[in-house]
Amino acid sequence: MTQQVETGSSPRGEGVVLAALSLLGVAVLAQIFFVMRPAGQASGDAFSNSGLFPGLVAAVLLLCVALRGLALIKEAGAQDPTELEALGPRIACLAVLAGFTLALPWLGYILTAFALTVAMLWLCGVRRLWPILALSTAAPLAIWGVFQHILNVILPFGRLWGALLG
């Protein structure tokens, strides 16, 4: 009857993360040695050496990633392969967020928030029209009201409407 959301880890997921973080560590060191040092920003004493602390952190990060990577190689054989999650809804969710971000300055808050809520409700499996319309209208208006009238934070009206209305 009840089921908790599965957030268990997978060796493949961990491997991808470790690979990405090792790239991050290498990129930081490369930036320090090939960009900051020639510019004189990563040398000298503790005051002038801007690369000292991030360089140390990146080196320790790479060491830890290597340690964990070795352990993962040992553990991988003993673990059952975890079922890969469906990535479709997650990618669609990020696409919706990207659309919201791109459209927000042009179409304004109310319209983009309405579209985001509709799209997310659809992604979450809601298919009944009235709940979709009700929540997609009420939630953006309520949040807009709180920000605009209680917190005095101005949310974008939309450049497009500004241009159209002169």
107 binds other proteins (CB under 8 A): no
State the nearest-atom distance from the C-beta of 129 to other proteins, in Å. Answer: 14
Tell me the CA distances in angstroms from 153 to 65, 69, 71, 147, one per residue in order. Answer: 42, 46, 49, 5
Q: Can you tell me the distance from the alpha carbon of 35 to that of 63, in angstroms, rounded to the nearest whole number?
A: 23
CB 51 within 8 A of CB 32: yes
> What single DSSP character describes residue 49?
-
Site string for other proteins, 36-75 (x = CB under 8 A): x--x-x---xxxxxxxxxx--xx-xx--xx-xx--x----
Q: Is 9 in the site for other proteins (CB under 8 A)?
A: yes
Q: By CB under 8 A, tell whether 141 contacts other proteins.
A: no
Write down the least CB distance from residue 160 to other proteins, Å: 15
DSSP 34: I
* CA dist., res. 109 & res. 122, Å (int): 20
Exactly one of 133, 147, 157, 160 binds other proteins (CB under 8 A); that residue is 147
Cβ distance to other proteins smaller for residue 89 or 161: 89
